[in-house]
Amino acid sequence: MRDRRARLSYLDEVITLLYPPVNAVPRTPGPYEDTDPSDRLRATGEPTTAYALTPSRFLPRRLVPRSRWLPGRRRLPGGSGTIEGHLSEVFGQHVGITLHVRPARRANRKPVLEVRAATGERLAFVKMGDTDRARALVRHEAMTLALLAVTPLKTVVVPTILHHGTWNDLEVLALSPLPIRRLRRVPHTLFTQAVVEIATLGLHPSLGTPAACSDPLDTITVRPEPPAATARSGPSGTTPPSPGPPGTATAGPEPLDTATTRPGPLGGHCWHGDFSPWNIAPSPDGRLLVWDWERFGGGVPLGFDALHHFFQRALRRMPPDIAAAACLAHALPTLAPYGLSAAQARETAVHYLITLADRHERDGHHPLGPPSRWLSPLVDPLEVLT
């Protein structure tokens, strides 16, 4: 894992937020370890719990309570002044915490916890807003899920809000775990039905109109001008390879973007905003489980979620500029199930790519590199959208 040390550095920051040490004693890590808070906590007199990194400290993905089969040296306090104590009060029972070790460089990075009962039963997933941006995103997801809770859904299943509040100036959102057996392929029909159901959410009285889903990030970020826009006809040359039909990928579960999606000529629909393979899974009853609603928004063309799904899968197989070209080249087969013509599909694909570049600009984070490398060469030669 190339960003191992950056992950562990961020993990130490998160631990300090969630498990504030009392009378901590500084310690320099040894040559074969990153940190060991046990010495810092030894003199405090506070009850502690031992934790271990899994699968290993060289591939850190989760920080879990130590067991007989899982040795670990990290010790964290477990008193009332910690997140474990707070969540124990929220759920009315003693709980155990598993902390996801988040990727080092993500615009929406935030602490994510799994909460389990003493029996081992998973009670909730908890998102913690630890920055202004993360707090706004967590609040927006809470608002979205509260609205969806009173909206009739036939195809899509969303998490239930179990708790939403603040603790130590952190936004805390506890969500029910969805019944995910394993991430497996999503049938085409189910995928299409889910995209359409989400796109038409604005027709439900509980949600009002898509425009009603305003973006709280506008209050904390400066909105830049969009990149140069695009086109009704595609680029010449060979067709980039297709990443294949929609389907879920291997595990791993990014913020709500409503105002960033400027209504285009085909606008007026909602979208999940991050309809990636790792955020959806078939449910046992034949519906589609969908989580991570931080980027839900409105005022976009029909099919944005399908394009996002295609593009994210393409990015796993090819560089960003080729993936963007593939997204545009395969716009018609991707959007044909939604009744779009070839011209509409291409226009929608270009509008989506510009929206995504705008999102990254607003985030101040460019995971695909500057748009001048992966987007501008694709759209600049095309007819500008009006």
Distance CA 75, CA 152 (A): 45
226 with 96, same domain? no
353 with 238, same domain? yes
**47 lies in some domain:** yes
Closest alpha carbon to 84 in 178, 179, 172, 177: 172
Distance CA 327, CA 296 (A): 21
What is the percent of the chain with per-residue pLDDT over 90, rounded to a whole number?
A: 52
98 with 213, same domain? no
Q: What is the pLDDT of residue 259?
A: 34
358 with 238, same domain? yes
**Of the residues 62, 88, 105, which one is the last residue of a structural domain?**
105
Q: What is the pLDDT of residue 143?
A: 95
Q: What is the pLDDT of residue 22?
A: 57
Q: Are strands 161-167 and 280-282 parallel, antiparallel or unpaired?
A: unpaired
99 with 193, same domain? no
Q: What are phi and psi of 128, to 5 degrees?
A: -120, 115
Distance CA 195, CA 149 (A): 18
**Of the residues 87, 105, 123, which one is the last residue of a structural domain?**
105
**223 lies in some domain:** yes
Condensed to tens digits (0 to 9), the pLDDT of residues 330-351 reads 999 999 999 999 999 999 999 9
Condensed to tens digits (0 to 9), the pLDDT of residues 84-143 reads 999 999 999 999 999 988 765 666 789 999 999 989 899 999 999 998 989 999 999 999
**338 lies in some domain:** yes
Asked whether 197 and 158 are in contact (CB, 8 A), the reply is no
**110 lies in some domain:** no
76 with 201, same domain? no
Q: Are strands 161-167 and 48-56 parallel, antiparallel or unpaired?
A: unpaired
206 with 331, same domain? yes
Distance CA 300, CA 199 (A): 9
Q: What is the pLDDT of residue 104?
A: 59
When pLDDT is averaged across residues 238-262 and rounded to a whole number, the result is 39
Segments forming the whole domain that contains residue 47 = 4-105
When pLDDT is averaged across residues 253-267 and rounded to a whole number, the result is 40
Condensed to tens digits (0 to 9), the pLDDT of residues 15-74 reads 989 988 654 434 444 443 444 444 444 444 556 778 888 887 777 888 888 877 777 777
- 55 upstream amide cis, omega within 30 of 0: yes
**207 lies in some domain:** yes
88 with 198, same domain? no
pLDDT at 244 over 60: no
Q: Which amino acid appears at position 131 of this protein? A: T
Q: What is the pLDDT of residue 44?
A: 47
Helices (H), the chain: 4-18, 38-41, 83-91, 132-149, 188-199, 304-315, 320-329, 331-335, 342-363, 371-374, 376-379
When pLDDT is averaged across residues 261-276 and rounded to a whole number, the result is 73
**336 lies in some domain:** yes
66-70, 144-148, 180-184, 203-207 — which is least confidently predicted? Answer: 203-207
Q: Work out how many domains the chain is built from and give that number.
A: 2
How far out from the chain centre does Cα 99 lie? Answer: 16
Q: Which residues, other chains included, contact 339 with Cβ-Cβ below 8 Å and sequence gap of 6+?
A: none
234 with 341, same domain? yes
243 with 362, same domain? yes
**153 lies in some domain:** no
**61 lies in some domain:** yes
What DSSP designation does 17 have? H
192 with 314, same domain? yes
| Residue 318 neighbours by CB distance under 10 Å | 15
Name the pLDDT band for 321 (thresholds 50, 70, 90).
very high
Asked whether 87 and 76 are in contact (CB, 8 A), the reply is no
**Coil vs helix vs strand at 170:** strand
Stated pTM of the model: 0.80
**Of the residues 50, 71, 105, which one is the last residue of a structural domain?**
105
Name the pLDDT band for 371 (thresholds 50, 70, 90).
very high
Asked whether 39 and 103 are in contact (CB, 8 A), the reply is no
89, 102, 149, 185: CA torsion to nearest 10: -130
Name the pLDDT band for 245 (thresholds 50, 70, 90).
very low
6-15, 306-315, 364-373 — which is least confidently predicted? Answer: 6-15
Distance CA 111, CA 382 (A): 42
76 with 222, same domain? no
